[in-house]
């Protein structure tokens, strides 16, 4: 197992990802949309305008990563069995997500840290308009490579912990995942990692069965915020971040608990903190933060 720190700050161009209403509707279903969410799942003459959950952009990032020979961008040489875990995901939106569009994605390594038991690799994906180059989004993924630590690098920053309010959540939303949830997200989220779709591979990796992707759980939280807090105005979400804890399984009940973190300020912005728990109160997403733009 060898690391190449000189790869930090190296960037690689990617493919142009194109999408349409069917992709957005399928994604909506994969994060819990139902018959009440017409404006997110129906298109054509059935709705005036198809709305899009902002975390749909992470499906485009996954599609781009799948097109690369090495999704870790050459940061090291690892055995094929080396576990690589998504520790945190952050998405910053620079404009509203439309139901039809295209984006050029470039990826770069912006950090490499030594945590002893493993190495943390920070990968940033930047999406821009293929023609004019206008910024569309920035997605940051913190990957933990098990067993790749103790290489003499900087330990790096710790996770920004949240002090949870003592009061009950200001908003809650519950989604009972179907028994085929991770198979659905394989298509909607462009993620066919074996531990999410193959029971034998998942058990070999130490899980009880196929697990949901962290990005799927984050998408469920995003949907909860859009409906419970934003009253379906998905364009209000400016950024969303989540740290991943316990794995979620197909059939689990995912409850998103949301608190307001401060009042409106002069820029008419709102801050939220959230977490996602399962039916046993195990925390699936911790340290969730979401920045909203105030109503115009």
How far is the C-alpha of 83 from the C-alpha of 66, rounded, in Å?
17
How far is the C-alpha of 111 from the C-alpha of 119, rounded, in Å?
10
Name the token pair of 268. 């008419």
Predicted pLDDT of residue 269: 65
* Residue 109, SS3 per DSSP: strand
Predicted pLDDT of residue 265: 57
The residue ranges of the chain whose pLDDT is under 50 are 266, 268, 296
What is the extent of the structural domain holding 106?
4-293
How far is the C-alpha of 87 from the C-alpha of 104, rounded, in Å?
25
**Within the chain, how many helices (H) and strands (E) appear?**
7, 12
- The answer to whether 138 and 94 are in contact (CB under 8 A) is yes
The count of structural domains within the chain is 1
Predicted pLDDT of residue 264: 52
How far is the C-alpha of 219 from the C-alpha of 52, rounded, in Å?
11
Supply the Cα-derived Rg of the chain in whole angstroms: 19
CATH code for position 37: 3.10.129.10
How far is the C-alpha of 138 from the C-alpha of 80, rounded, in Å?
29
How far is the C-alpha of 204 from the C-alpha of 193, rounded, in Å?
13
Predicted pLDDT of residue 122: 96
Q: What is the model's pTM?
A: 0.93
Predicted pLDDT of residue 160: 77
Predicted pLDDT of residue 292: 94
Q: What is the DSSP letter of 266?
A: T
Other CB atoms within a 10 A radius of the CB of residue 150 amount to 12
pLDDT in tens, 37-85: 999 998 767 767 899 999 999 999 999 998 888 888 989 888 777 788 8
Question: In the chain, how long is the greatest CA-to-CA distance?
Answer: 59
Backbone angles phi, psi at 103, to 5 degrees: -150, 140
- The answer to whether 276 and 254 are in contact (CB under 8 A) is yes
């Amino acid at each position: 197992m060898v690391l190449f720190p000189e790869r930090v700050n190296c960037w690689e161009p990617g493919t142009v990802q194109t999408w349409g209403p069917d992709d957005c509707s399928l994604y909506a279903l994969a994060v819990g949309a139902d018959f009440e969410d017409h404006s997110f799942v129906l298109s054509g003459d059935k709705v005036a305008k198809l709305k899009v959950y902002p975390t749909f952009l992470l499906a485009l990032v996954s599609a781009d990563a799948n097109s690369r020979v090495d999704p870790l961008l050459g940061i090291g040489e690892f055995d094929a069995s080396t576990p690589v875990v998504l520790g945190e995901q952050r998405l910053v939106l620079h404009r509203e997500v439309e139901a039809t569009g295209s984006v050029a994605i470039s990826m770069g390594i912006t950090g490499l840290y030594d945590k002893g038991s493993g190495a943390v690799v920070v990968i940033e994906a930047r999406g821009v308009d293929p023609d004019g180059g206008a910024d569309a989004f920035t997605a940051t993924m913190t990957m933990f490579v098990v067993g790749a630590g103790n290489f003499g690098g900087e330990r790096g920053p710790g996770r920004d912990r949240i002090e949870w309010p003592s009061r009950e959540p200001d908003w809650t939303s519950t989604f009972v995942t179907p028994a085929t949830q991770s198979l659905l997200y394989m298509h909607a989220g462009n993620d066919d990692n074996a531990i999410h779709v193959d029971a034998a591979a998942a058990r070999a990796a130490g899980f009880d069965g196929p697990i949901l992707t962290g990005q799927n759980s984050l998408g469920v939280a995003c949907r909860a915020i859009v409906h419970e807090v934003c009253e379906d105005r998905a364009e209000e979400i400016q950024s969303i971040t989540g740290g991943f804890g316990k794995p979620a399984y197909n059939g689990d009940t995912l409850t998103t608990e949301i608190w307001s973190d401060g009042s409106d300020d002069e820029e008419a912005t709102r801050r939220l903190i959230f977490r996602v728990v399962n039916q046993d109160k195990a925390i699936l997403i911790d340290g969730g933060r979401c920045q909203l733009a105030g109503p115009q």
